[in-house]
Chain A
Amino acid sequence: MINQSLSLPNNEEITTAPNGHRLLSLGRHMTILIEKQAIIRNVWLLILLAIACVATLGIGTMPISPKEVIAVLFGHGNAMSQFIVQDLRLPRLLAALFTGAAFSLAGCLMQTMARNRLATPGIIGIDNAAMAFAVSSVVGMGISLAPSVMALAGAATATALAFGLAGGSGTRGYRFIVAGIGIGAIAGAVTQLLLSQVSIDVANSAYPWTVGSLSARDPMMVSILGIGLVICLVACLLFASQFALMPFSDQVIMGLGANIKYIRIVALILCITLTGLAVAVAGPVGLIALIGPEIARVLARYRGIPLISSALAGALVMILADLFGRTVLSPIELPVGIVTAVIGGPYLIWILVRRTSRTSL
């Protein structure tokens, strides 16, 4: 839980920690500043996440008691519940856990970078492009690659295009965002074009890719996403002290001696990797990137950049949304992308209409 870490060279030792923080020495060369609040917050989120996981593993057409679930997880329990939990529900839970965390972390980075709480990877078109590529592979435009690989390629293509068209990061990276919106619009149009050219059966088989769904996902991609998530999370923590400068104006950041372009590019690369991998697993579930970081910011009382809390909150929301979509209309399964859109929608409107006095984020 190194939520707000600050690494300092050893000749500038801080002897006393600020109020509400603790210093943790790692060897002689590094000191980490830890916020006590952040630890408490993240432990709570972890507990909630664990409860949600057990609930998800237990609830379904064939209910299993929490005790049994825990027993199965430790390798006991009868064969039937072992099969249901380990082979059917656990892969889906892992997919939800990883995609939620990845989307949310990417959203937090993007919002910090753009200094705008509405900037999410989905809104700047990464989701849409990934969707267009995946759909093109499903409807068979002479491409034989798996949809998830195509989704990854789409995400990378969209970002590269947006970055190239924006011509440098521009003031506050805004050109980049607008370029992304334009590319997203084109990608959306192309998706519609592809879907309108094929028969309704093929269009239906491409449907999960257009709304975002967690059922029957590629287990390979889930494990790749898991590895990628861990790497990105570590990278985020290493750069946390640099990201913490982003809310300030460009002049202040430069005055503090940080390389603003470098920070932006690192954040962007992390963002694309996370979004691309997550879209490759679950399709566009973009609103998680809006909801997760927002919950984390509320919990952190708008201090600092709550990266870990964002990831945890995103995973929590994703699991709950998937559980809701699976159970509420039981024989029919609602895709998780639609559930998050319906939950996130009223919340989004609330952000839009309220009179905010808080500055950027």
Chain B
Amino acid sequence: MISWFYIPPAQRPLFSVFVSALFVLALCCFCSLLFGAGGLSLQASFQTLLGNGSADTQFTVFHLRANRTLIGLFVGLTLGIAGALMQAVARNPLAEPGLLGVSAGSSLAVAITLVLGASTATLTVGVAQFGALLGCLCVLGVARMQGQQNDPIRLVLAGAALSSLLLAVTSLLLLFDQRAADEIRFWVTGSVAGRDTNTLFSVLPSMLIAIICILYTAKPLASLALGERVAIGLGHKPQRVRAVVIVAVALLVGGATAIAGPVAFIGLVVPFAARALVGPDIRRTLWLCLPLGPIIVISADVVSRLVAQPAEMPLGVLTAIIGAPVLLLIVRSRRMPTL
């Protein structure tokens, strides 16, 4: 296992890295069931896991914590994959749904529905995905603006400008509606606690579409990494690939945002870690993003329960604290990797 570190990332055996990541993920899920901010002691929750707990502890472990873990799994999965796709399509290691205003677009859409008085789960998911799509289209406009210099940071600046705009419009809406403001105050922080697992089922159909899109685009994206002309020469249609990827990203980010609220920086950290482990090829990176996203979200969630006992810290705060240094790390690396 130690010998991995001597192999260049791109040559590491994908299968064994993937399996060990799965092992770590299982460990994280176990911890997530075991630790909590409430009064339940570590021993009691362990006993409950073994099958001899009271009704109360069983409710806490198998209902509250298990749901939470499940949602963390889903959110990590979708945001990690969305980040990897977005970075591949923008050919920019800093492209991240949260930084580029995609999450902000989808939270604006959710705020609009909340103000209009809707609260059905299915509607929220669809609306969030639509908002994410609009955010993505704005990003496409930005990507065009990149122009001659092809400067990765222009994109991030434009994304920051866009999300600050969308957030301002969201707060304008909330100014007129006290009820929605109170409701959304907890939602905009991004958290996996106390969310409705039923929403997960309403997201599933759109996730299926997203998976089909990803399967269709993985190979063209890998050749797009070699440059637009090479991709055309290999028989791919870059414009169409981009459009399909944008739809997939919108579905994924919209789904995650509808369930957990905007969780920033996951889409930046996960592909970064995946690239460090198995190299820049998108087909390998995507495989590794599958376990890495949930690992990061669930472990961040566990930490967020433990640091501020007996209260909890919102997940979004913690991911921002993890993600911002990674952002710096990417920018500070001597040569910014062009994707």
Whether B252 sits at the interface, judged by CB under 8 Å, is: no
CB atoms of B171 and A345 under 8 A apart: no
Q: Which residue of B lies closest to A114 (CB)?
A: B157
Whether A189 sits at the interface, judged by CB under 8 Å, is: yes
Q: Give the residues from 179 to 220 in chain A that come closer than 8 angstroms, CB to CB, to chain B.
A: 179, 181-186, 188-190, 192-193, 195-197, 200, 203, 210-211
Residues of B near A167 (CB, < 8 A) are 332
Whether B147 sits at the interface, judged by CB under 8 Å, is: yes
Cβ of B163 to closest chain A Cβ, rounded Å: 10
CB atoms of B157 and A189 under 8 A apart: no
Given contacts A178-B331, A193-B314, A341-B168, contact A353 B161 (CB under 8 A): no
Interface size class of chain A, counting residues whose CB lies under 8 Å from the partner chain: 35 or more
Of B142, B156, B158, the contact of A178 (CB 8 Å cutoff): B156
Contact digits for B141-176, partner A, Cβ 8 Å, 1 yes 0 no: 110110100000110111011101100110110010
Whether B327 sits at the interface, judged by CB under 8 Å, is: yes
Interface size on B, residues (CB 8 A): 46
Q: Which residue of A lies closest to B153 (CB)?
A: A174
Whether B199 sits at the interface, judged by CB under 8 Å, is: no
CB atoms of A123 and B157 under 8 A apart: yes
A122 to B185: give the CA distance in the assembly, Å. Answer: 22
CB atoms of A174 and B331 under 8 A apart: yes
A28 to B188: give the CA distance in the assembly, Å. Answer: 62
Given contacts A177-B153, A287-B168, contact A182 B141 (CB under 8 A): no
CB atoms of B162 and A348 under 8 A apart: yes
CB atoms of B328 and A178 under 8 A apart: yes
A337 to B171: give the CA distance in the assembly, Å. Answer: 10
CB atoms of A192 and B168 under 8 A apart: no
Cβ of A282 to closest chain B Cβ, rounded Å: 14
A211 to B167: give the CA distance in the assembly, Å. Answer: 10
Residues of A near B141 (CB, < 8 A) are 349, 352-353
Whether B13 sits at the interface, judged by CB under 8 Å, is: no
A342-B168, A345-B165 given; 14 more Cβ-contact pairs under 8 Å: A116-B154, A120-B161, A123-B157, A123-B160, A178-B327, A181-B99, A182-B324, A186-B321, A189-B321, A192-B314, A192-B317, A211-B171, A342-B169, A353-B145
B interface, CB within 8 angstroms of A: 94, 98-99, 138, 141-142, 144-145, 147, 153-154, 156-158, 160-162, 164-165, 168-169, 171-172, 175, 178, 182, 185-186, 188-189, 264-265, 311, 313-314, 316-317, 320-321, 323-325, 327-328, 331-332
